[in-house]
Structure 1
Amino acid sequence: MKRRTLFRGAAIGAAAIPAAAFGYSALAEPTATAANYEVSITEQRTNRLLNFKRGSAWTDANITWSWSPGGGGWSNLSDVKYRNTASFGWIALATASGGKVGIVNMTSEKHQELNDLLWSATPGGNPHAIERIPDIGAIVTASSAGFLTVYGPTAVSKPSTLAKVQTVTLAGAHGVLWDPTRKLLWAIGDKVLRAYQVTGSYRNTRLKATSKKVTLKGLGHDLQPDYSDKGKLLITDTYGAYEVNASTLAKKTVREGRLIKSYVRDSAGEGMWLQAKNNEPRPWSSDTVRWDSGSKVRSGGHIYKARIVTTSFN
């Protein structure tokens, strides 16, 4: 495995590498209305995070960025989010059903590997999602065995100091998302979407359940922003995809169907989703990402989730 100590040292001790170094300019942000934004997929057959421009052929030659952590605890990558930090610039938050979660230090290299991690942990219970709380640098993960895990650092600029500070019970926990407008952390689990207040900071960071919750018919699965409307969240459960008004908690069906593993809207309001094909050996995956206006196939791919490549929350 290639070493990247040059980039690691530069990121820790110097100014952050700008987002443009990755080729992620304005097209990466949800406010861009261009149709050719980048899409990130968790591809489990080769176990890589793969980024492509929407309009390109999704072949190896057109990969704009990738991360390959190997197998073991990093097998079956299940979630990715991109966030911008003062100390490191762009980071990728990664989760694997094999057991691991972590923070990837995105350098100027197109293809990155396990040794680009700034931090990793093993929360247990089949990790499905991860989120970072801005300003305090805390991390929250969701494990489908039924709990959220909170990690707090001693300093926001030192992710290596993250340590477990709290475990919160949430049956079937599958998704977590920070809401910067309402200053809440949303989490989705079995038959419920619930909002948590984040209290304290650093090692004193704690989650406190609020009264805001939405009852679902099935097992809650994905949780994403609506990039066309800051007032809405987008979720999926056993039976379909829905929009939720984050203030009134009103829920509306936007797509019916089983096995919708991820759903999001871009800034123009077009839906993008991944619906599993129920084929072995990974019945929860598909080789196809769909939009309201078409689809894109990653030949041979076992894709679990699809994300818009952006560091914005909504």
Structure 2
Amino acid sequence: MDADAPDGVLWSFTPDGDPRYADLDPATSWEYVSEAKLRIRRRKPYVLTTASKGFAAVVEYPTGRPYWARALTPDLNLHSIELVPHGNIAVVGSTGGVLRIYAAHNDTYAEAPLEDAHGLQWDARLRVLWALGRHELVAYRVQGTADRPEIKRGRSAELPHPDGDHAGGHDLGQVAGNPDRLWVTTRHEVLQYSKKRREFVKDYPGAARTDREDVKSIGSDHRSGRLLSTSPEDGLHQSWWTTSVRLDEPTGAVKLADGGIYKARWWDLSETDALSR
């Protein structure tokens, strides 16, 4: 959506009622959307999306045509999705406590445990898949072939946990314009992770305002550096929903007219094709 457009909506997607997705029972599986992110592969833009009840898809923009789509079991509680080498697809489930890499053109997948898995980010420079869980940030090597993917766990970093219990990782993403840094949000704070220094830091611009508890999504615009984030608000149907997207550097907000959302992402088709495989 564009806050400056007459009704704000530039493009939308739903599999519900779309015959191309009918076999996935979207009336059931497309409930509680938990991820939506833009990726560009071989010069084509795709929307990657998941829902807690099991829907997962890589959707061609603007046609809505499925590149890959599945209805997975709802007990996984899908939280994020990513494109990885060979055009394959990674997903994480929080309740399932799992990371999976699916082959794009068959039903084969590789699996690794990750407690309360919430976030994914492919790192084209280091050639690793970062995954965020309850206690840790982990880098995985994605190996194998297009038809038979494999996962190998690499280095990890324990999340800070100020309450002495658990950090509860929420969101994970690349800091725009700084390949060394990842955005990481937890139950308690908004951090950046320095890959080179192998530590979590709060030395980013605007940290005094941006750093807060229970941020469900965060991202920086690669053109302006402006931040967007979402946090739950009271009085909505679900405890994790919000009707407002917060902006920082400079400050502002985008208010949604209807419903509630979990996450918000920047949309910019001029992003580089760094994810081509």
**Worse-matched range after superposition: 286-295 or 196-205:** 196-205
Deviation at 1:239, TM superposition (A): 0.8
CA deviations over 1:57-81 (Å, ceiling 9, x no partner): 5x6x331110012331011111012
* 1:141 alignment partner AA: V
5+ residue gaps, structure 1: 1-51, 154-160
SS in 2 for 1:308: coil
In structure 1, which of residues 279, 283, 295 is the aligned counterpart of residue 253 of structure 2? 295
Residue 270 (structure 1) aligns with: 226
Contact 2:37 2:49 in 1 (8 A): yes
Q: 1:1-314 maps to which residues of 2 (within 5 A)?
A: 52-53=1-2, 55-56=3-4, 61-70=7-16, 71-86=27-42, 89-107=44-62, 112=64, 116-124=65-73, 125-134=76-85, 136-145=86-95, 146-153=97-104, 161-217=105-161, 218-253=167-202, 254=207, 255-267=210-222, 268-292=224-248, 293-310=251-268, 312=272
Give the whole-Å Cα distance in 1 for the aligned partners of 2:47 and 2:236: 29
Q: Which amino acid aligns with 1:94?
A: T
Q: Which residue pairs with 1:12 in the alignment?
A: none
CA–CA distance in 1 between the matches of 2:159 and 2:55? 29
Letter in 1 for 2:260: H
Distance 2:198 2:123 in 1: 14
User: 8 Å contact 1:82–1:92 — kept in the other structure?
Assistant: yes
Task: Tell me if structure 1 keeps the 8 A contact 2:236–2:260.
Answer: no
Distance 2:29 2:160 in 1: 31
Query: Which structure is richer in relative contact order (CA contacts within 8 A, separation 6 or more)?
Result: 1
**Shift, 1:264, TM fit:** 1.3
Residue pair 1:241, 1:260 contacting (<8 A) in 2 also? yes
Distance 1:225 1:162 in 2: 29
Q: How far apart in 2 are the matches of 1:192 and 1:221?
A: 11
Whether the 8 Å CA contact 1:129–1:143 is kept in 2: the answer is yes
Show structure 2 runs of 5+ residues with no match: 17-26, 162-166
- One-letter amino acid matched to 1:252: V
What corresponds to 1:30 in structure 2?
Answer: none
C-alpha distance 269-107 of structure 1, shift in aligned 2 (>3 A):
closer
TM-score by length of 1: 0.73
**Runs of 4+ in structure 1 displaced over 3 angstroms?**
253-256, 310-314
**AA partner of residue 183 (structure 2):** L
Tell whether the 8 Å contact from 1:102 to 1:117 is kept in structure 2 after alignment: yes
Aligned pairs, number = 245
Identity of aligned residues (%): 26
Letter in 1 for 2:138: R
> How big is the shift at 1:279?
2.9
